[in-house]
Copies of this chain bind each other. A is one copy, B any other.
Amino acid sequence: MSDAARGRGLYLDDLSVGQQFVTASHALDEAQIKAFAAQFDPQPFHLDAEAAKATVFKGLVASGWHTAAITMRLLVESVPLAGGLIGLGGSLTWPRPTRADDVLTVHGEVTDVAPSQSRSDRGTIGISAETRNQRGEVLQKFTATLMVPRRPAA
């Protein structure tokens, strides 16, 4: 996506299937993992590195919802859709757990561009995004449908 496009925000009309994007990166750590878990996912394998050793994860891991939330932050910062990133829904898998030393980057692609049949001012796009760590290991696969405005008439 060009710098010019980033500056003004992308409309549906600017997007096409196959366009790719890579976000900025986010470095995780134990404190972030525990803070998110204490608020939203208070389970031993997210809260206590020692207790986590005895679990199926063999050590502290981030909540999948924490990985999803960081992914959203990276998308918001790096994918400049006009009107913002407004998700209607999506699907997630977590092929491997996110750990405290992971640095997350999202690699994505536009998979569908569909003008609305009933509303001439908007449409939807499909995106597919992988959240990878610094070794290229895939921590989360995410597909989503987003609402995107059409470019207003000049």
Instruction: Choose one: B44, B69, B88; the contact of A84 (CB below 8 Å).
Output: B44
Closest Cβ–Cβ distance, residue A126 to chain B (whole Å): 14
Question: Does A30 sit within 8 A of B, measured CB to CB?
Answer: no
Asked, given contacts A69-B65, A90-B91, whether A85 binds B42 with beta carbons under 8 Å apart, the answer is: no
Counted per complex, copies of this chain come to: 2
Instruction: Choose one: B45, B73, B85, B89; the contact of A39 (CB below 8 Å).
Output: B73
Q: Which residues of B contact A83 (CB under 8 A)?
A: 55-56
By the criterion CB–CB under 8 Å, are A72 and B147 in contact? no
Question: Does A41 sit within 8 A of B, measured CB to CB?
Answer: yes
Within 8 A of B (CB), among A57-87: 63-65, 68-70, 72-73, 76, 83-87
